[in-house]
Amino acid sequence: MSDNKVKIGNLLFNDIENNAYLNNLYEKTLISYAKKTLQVTDNTDTLNNNEINDLLRFADLLSKSNHNEKSEQQKMWAQEIIVLLNYLFPHSNSIKAFGGSVFSNTDNSRGINILGTSFNEPFFLSQAYLEFKKDYLRIPSQKNLHFLSAQKQVYDHLNDRCFSYSAPTSMGKSFLMRMFIKEQIENNARKNFAIVVPTKALINEVSQKIIREDLNELLEQHNYKVITASSDIALEGEHNFIYIVTPERLLYMLIAHPNLKIDYLFIDEAHKLSAKNSRAPFYYKTVDMLNKRHTPPKFIFASPNIPNPEVYLRLLTDISKNNFKALKTSFSPVTQIKFLLDLKGKDVSVYNPHTEAPINIAKINDKNATLEDFLHVIEYNNRNSEVSRNRQTIVFFNSKNKAVQTAQNFANRLNLLNDKELDVLSRDISSAVHKDYYLAEMVKKGIAYHIGYLPSSIRMRIEDLFRKGKITTLFCTSTLLEGVNLPADNLFITTKKIFTRKMTPVDFRNLIGRVGRIEYNLYGNVIFVTEQDDKSDESEFIEMLKTKVPEQILSVEAGAGVLTNPERKYIIETLKSGNVEIKKRNERQSEESYELTRKFSLILAKDIVSDNSSLVRSSFSDLLSSEDEISIRNKLKENNFHPDDDINISADQSLNLSEAIRNGLHYPERKEGHFRYNDVMEFLEKLCDIFKWEQYEYSTLGKITDGKHKKLRWYGVLLLQWISGFGLSNIINKGIDFHRENPNNFWINKTQMAYYQDTKEFRNILFADTLEVIDNIILFSLSNYFLKFSNEYKRIHGVTSFDNDWYEYVEYGTTNPSTILLQRIGFSRETASYIKQHPEYIIELSNKGIKLSKSLIDCSNHNVRNEALNVILNMPEVFEKIRN
């Protein structure tokens, strides 16, 4: 007798997805859904009562699947059937009854609530088991909420020494981290937690959720502080901490505070470790630094839709020995319906994921139809529907200019909404940026764009009003991929690229997962748009839908799309020559590829000289013998190479800097109480030579136009305004004046120049450029160089601090000590300036610190009120104590 046992469930569910009757019923349902969504009045292919009942039974059966390999997909299909039927027949009690059973079987309690139903098992033992399961899945720190089964599996591993998990975008990966931290704190744990997020925008979103939604008064009760920068004043006290940082901020935090204790390190969006960009090496560097500690933290990696999440544990351990824990799930609690809007071929189709083929639904009769026409239909229905909740739409572009221009074109077709909150936001945008800023006018119509360079206070209010349904259409770029949670019903995807590169399968799945979020709804529509001037057709979208996410490799390893073998060999040959000055390999090498190559070379050089065993070093072992490493070590030491953890600056730059400071170089001084532009430019030109910006920052700080550093002159204007404490609107007005006086060589985009004309269109290009320069050049590139300058100045002069520290001025955008102190407490630059200008909110200001009035949370400024609510929870000691 064979020992091979077959589960009954495997036999029952093994081939159910190929059942012809089920597939026929599903396709009819999908077509009916598409027609109703598109308002097609054709009544063919509608379901009769018998077919509805049969489909409900199929759904109930699928939801009970326990097949070893197909269970998750079959349970998701069961949910999808219920969602589609409920949309088609919203008043059907039988659909809601079956829906309660289906969502109960898939452990989707949130789905039951959204569906507006309940479920009780008819048999005592079954009901007892159901109650047991509900209790088992109850979230420890949120007793009224329940995990999905897949979430519970992940949650139970968050205390492992190292763990990596992958799940769909809609599965709430970061939510699990936050709930784990909350439970630990409620149980009186005295630990420090760090969550690494890929963008600064997510720092604001995650920190606010933790402070306001998760912990609130628990922060003060358990003596915890949320930290977002290494300069936060709370770090000077005796507390436990929750760090919310980007990988770059974490690195500089570890450099500035070598003894910084971290017990848990959560890396969100861990698939960035497989990316080919300048950010990836920071993950490798920080993980290695923490892993080498006597007591390393516990490492948790979370990534979307990765089939092999264990690959990221290679940063910590040899996974070939199977001494790792990783988990992957494909189960999603929400459904995405995919449409193909072909403006070139003039038809609309719905995609059947089970046959992997489109089904034509309708022809587009208007030969001049545009994307804006379809958006207008959705918005018209919003404004004229009796349903209280608006349908919300996100439109994705690969270009910021295209996103802004399309938003502007669409907004021009709409009337004002006369909504108080939108009007207030409009006035605040006009005041903070400029009255001619396109965004200021379009938000009054419920339209906005969401792109990387928006000021954080404006961006967060746009997100908040989108969640409230006041803003109904949002035009986005790749910032949408970085984890922003928004309740979209419709996602229009207009491109197959992110900027100039083709979307990877990981990017693609991550993007479409942004519609349908279990916090808000059960389903969403993804509409792939082929516009009339597209060079490709809709078949490329279909191919992307069919393509599975391949197994990921680490960006430090050789492979297509990451660090290539020629690039790895080039690094080795450069180091063998005793040099760390990595130049572009050839003119075809992209800037991202060059930055990745350079930063990995700096990590490798330090690891070899300091004999540090790291994944980066071992990944080059096929090209490096022991003799090679000894030779490299000796040659680098002969050339005065000093290992440095800062991978933004190379040794050749550091040597130049040390020599210049020893020869008397210092930051520009004030003259008659002010910094002078010519002095600033003279200093920046010296830094350009010292740090070799023409080589290392060739597209920005070191860009040459007509033999001059014209971009650097523009950056100098903004830098001087920024550190002088001017508000954003004043800086922008100064920029307008600068370009009126210097109209030649105005950059329309990265590759195109024009003669500046002082029109609304040119001004908006200028506004966008100004905001982007402040974010990427002033607050990132120059800030990092000034940090290096200040640290080296202190080292050479033997001081721990000095007056006229421009790194501090850049970091806080002011030279005023009070405004700097307010920012170190947790306020933004804008809010700190507001408080400084309103002394009625300052009770005490002295060398001992600052004391603020609690009336600040009731002030007339919306942004100030919002920030004050965060600070009063995270830093309650800086507010007055009100006695009863």
Domain match, 178 and 44 both: no
- Give buried/exposed letters for 149-174 (b at 16+ CB in 10 A, else e): bbbbebbebbeeebbbbbbbbbbbbb
Residue finishing a domain among 785, 807, 829: 807
Supply angle C-alpha 345, 350, 354, rounded to 5. Answer: 130
pLDDT 10s digits, 721-742: 999 999 999 999 999 999 999 8
Do residues 612 and 606 touch, judged by C-beta distance below 8 A?
yes
pLDDT at 747: 83
Sole residue written with tokens 């004002």:
416
Instruction: Provide the pLDDT for residue 45.
Output: 73
pLDDT digits (tens, 9 = 90+) for 740-797: 998 988 888 777 889 999 999 999 999 999 999 999 999 999 999 999 999 999 999 9
> Alpha-carbon distance 714 to 701, whole Å?
10
**Range of the structural domain that residue 69 is part of:** 8-136
614 plus 701 within the same structural domain: no
- Rounded Cα gap, residues 245 and 230, in angstroms: 9
pLDDT recorded at residue 559: 64
Q: Which residues contact 781 (CB under 8 A, 6 or more apart)?
A: 697, 700, 701
pLDDT at 247: 96
- Both 285 and 190 in a single domain? yes
Tell me the one-letter amino acid at 106.
Answer: T
Within a domain: 551 = no
CB 748 within 8 A of CB 742: no
Angle, CA 858 vertex, CA 855 and CA 864 arms, to 5°: 100
Give the integer Cα–Cα distance in Å for 176 and 195: 12
Element (H, E) at 852: strand 849-852
Q: Is 196 helix (H, G, I), strand (E, B) or coil?
A: strand
Q: What is the mean pLDDT of residues 834-858?
A: 91
Mean pLDDT (whole number) for 579-594: 87
Q: How many residues does the chain have?
A: 884
* Rounded Cα gap, residues 250 and 279, in angstroms: 12
Q: 207 CB contacts (<8 Å, ≥6 apart)?
A: 226, 228, 244, 870
State whether the Cα torsion 846-849-851-857 is positive or negative: positive
The number of distinct structural domains making up the chain is 6
| Residue 661 forms part of a structural domain | no
Asked whether 475 and 448 are in contact (CB, 8 A), the reply is yes
For the stretch 312-357, pLDDT in tens is 999 997 666 666 799 999 999 999 999 999 999 999 999 999 999 9
- According to the model, what pLDDT value does residue 666 have? 98
Place of tokens 């990988």: 247
List the beta strands (DSSP E) in 770-837: none
- Return the amino acid letter for 210: I
Q: Given pLDDT bands bounded at 50, 70 and 90, which one contains residue 126?
A: low
For residue 550, which of 790, 187, 308 has the smallest C-alpha distance? 308
**CB contact at 8 A, 472 and 414:** no
In a domain, 665, yes or no: no
How many of the other CB atoms lie within 10 Å of CB of 88? 17
- pLDDT recorded at residue 322: 67
Cross-strand pairs, 844: 851
pLDDT tens for residues 795-804? 999 999 999 9
Q: CA angle, corner 498, sides to 414 and 600, nearest 5?
A: 145
Q: Which tokens go with 440?
A: 């200021």
Please tell me whether residues 400 and 525 are part of one structural domain: yes
Q: Are residues 245 and 394 in the same domain?
A: no
Q: Which of 331, 337, 330 is nearest to 84 (CA)?
A: 337
The pLDDT-based confidence of 1 (bands split at 50, 70, 90) is: very low
CA distance 79 to 29: 13
Q: For residue 528, what are the CA distances in angstroms to 224, 371, 490, 504? A: 45, 11, 11, 16
- pLDDT surpasses 60 at 842: yes
Q: Does residue 758 lie within any of the structural domains?
A: yes
Query: Would you give the DSSP letter of residue 198?
Result: S
Is residue 109 within 8 Å of 146, Cβ to Cβ? yes
Same domain, 103 and 185: no
- Do 402 and 502 share a domain, yes or no? yes
Q: Among the three residues 103, 136, 169, which one is the final residue of a domain in this structure?
A: 136
At position 532, the amino acid (one-letter code) is Q
pLDDT tens-digit map of 497-525: 887 788 899 999 989 988 887 777 899 99
The rounded Cα 323 to chain-centroid distance in angstroms is 31
Task: Find the DSSP H helices in 620-692.
Answer: 626-638, 651-662, 677-690
Closest CA to 283 of 198, 205, 199, 204: 198
Say if residue 798 is in the same domain as residue 681.
yes
pLDDT at 183 exceeding the cut of 50:
yes
Same domain, 83 and 184: no
| Contact between 764 and 437 (Cβ < 8 Å) | yes
Tokens of 615: 């994944």
Interatomic CA distance for residues 571 and 407, integer angstroms: 44
pLDDT tens across 354-378, in order?
999 999 999 999 989 999 999 999 9
CATH number of domain containing 484: 3.40.50.300
Residue 653 belongs to some domain of the structure: no
pLDDT at 2 > cutoff 60:
no
Residues 519 and 397 in one domain: yes
Encoded tokens for 226:
């949320």
Cβ neighbours for 406, distance < 8 A, ≥ 6 positions apart: 371, 372, 395, 397, 475
pLDDT band at 30 (very low <50, low <70, confident <90, very high): very high
Residue finishing a domain among 136, 167, 191: 136
Q: With respect to residue 672, please indicate whether it lies within any of the assigned structural domains.
A: no
The secondary structure of 278-340 as a DSSP string is TTHHHHHHHHHHHHTSSSPPEEEEEEES-S-GGGGGGGTS-GGGT---EEE----SSEEEEEE
Please check whether residues 119 and 183 belong to one and the same domain.
Answer: no
Neighbours of 559 (CB within 10 A): 15
2: in domain? no
Alpha helices in 106-172 (DSSP H): 109-115, 124-136, 149-155
**Could you tell me the sign of the dihedral formed by the alpha carbons of 585, 589, 593, 594, in that order?**
positive
Estimate to the nearest angstrom the gap between the alpha carbon of 666 and the chain centroid. 37
Do 321 and 202 reside in the same domain of the chain?
yes
Residue 339: inside a domain, yes or no? no
The two tokens of residue 23 are 């597939």
pLDDT at 323: 66
Please, what is the average pLDDT of the chain?
91
| DSSP assigned state of 262 | -
Buried b (16+ CB within 10 A) or exposed e, 687-724: bbebbbbeebbeebbbbeeeeebbbbbbbbbbbbbbbb
Report whether 505 contacts 549 (CB < 8 A).
Answer: yes
pLDDT by residue (tens digit) across 188-206? 999 999 999 998 888 988 9
